[in-house]
Copies of this chain bind each other. A is one copy, B any other.
Amino acid sequence: MEHTNIGKHISEKFDEELEGVRNAVLSMGGMVEQQLTDALKAIQTTDVELAEKILRKDSQVNDLELEIDSACTRIIAKRQPTASDLRLIVATLKTIADLERIGDEVKRLARVAQETFNSEQQHLLVNLENLGQLVVNMLRQALNAFARMDAEAALEVHRTDSSIDRQYEALLRQLMTYMMEDPRSIPKIMDVVFSARSLERIGDRCQNIAEYIIFNVHGKDVRHTSADSMEATIKNKR
């Protein structure tokens, strides 16, 4: 908690506003995480109704993004924040953009859950389960790191992405083998391929969120730098 920028302003109202935005981001994150968990469940159980529910709920995620977005702009205009407060707001604006896009990927997953698969194709969906679990964990950890503004936890999240990429590559090779063995199933297998890719993209977006957290905590933009240099930033508190 010592890393948060909250609780040091003369204006209590300003503190409340920042805390309000932070809570809204966590609500939005929690909603997206639940949507992702539900989408994976809907795929595994080919639960069309659950998929429908997910698709309907996406507009709530979008609404939250717009709300937080304008709350941030209002705070900038009214409070004219500088230094760490401004960094927090910029990091928030970027985080919600990524959360919203994660919501879009979840929608793609939900649409796949609405497709019909025969019993032979059904087992293909099982292949998504491991990758899906890794990605749900990554998202959860990214949100936890955001909640505590914990740069070290964010660095951990950032590192996770390479194992997700490896798992995705392996799954892709496996799915291509299925396609070669059973060409008639290609359209269905392509749905699974795109679902895997959506999961991989969600991992990329969690990595983005991790970078914004590190930027917010250390005031140094670590995007496009190596993991080593990112670690140096955090350890040396440069």
Q: Which of A23-31, A89-97, A111-119 contacts B (4 or more CB under 8 A)?
A: A89-97
Query: A residues engaging B (CB < 8 A)?
Result: 59, 62-63, 65-66, 69-70, 73, 76-77, 80-83, 86-87, 90, 93-94, 97, 172, 176, 179-181, 183-184, 186-187, 190, 193-194, 197, 221, 223-224
Is the Cβ of B62 less than 8 Å from the Cβ of A223? Answer: yes
Question: Chain B CB within 10 Å — which of A87, A90, A181 has the most?
Answer: A90
Query: Could you tell me the distance between the alpha carbons of A184 and B180 in the complex, rounded to whole angstroms?
Result: 7
Smallest CB separation, A119 vs chain B (Å): 21
CB distance from A17 to the nearest CB of B (A): 16
Having A66-B221, A197-B197, one finds 10 other A-B pairs with CB under 8 Å, namely A69-B221, A70-B221, A73-B87, A77-B81, A77-B86, A93-B94, A97-B97, A179-B183, A179-B186, A194-B197
CB-CB < 8 A to A93: which residues of B? 90, 93-94
Protomer copies:
2
Closest to A90 in B: B73
With A73-B86, A90-B93 as contacts: A66 and B183 at CB distance below 8 Å? no
Cα-based distance from A193 to B179 in the complex (angstroms): 14
A67 (CB) vs chain B CBs: closest residue: B221
9 closest pairs, A vs B, by CB?
A80-B80, A62-B224, A180-B183, A77-B82, A183-B183, A179-B186, A66-B221, A176-B186, A180-B186
Q: In the complex the two chains form, what is the Cα distance from A63 to B59 in whole Å?
A: 34
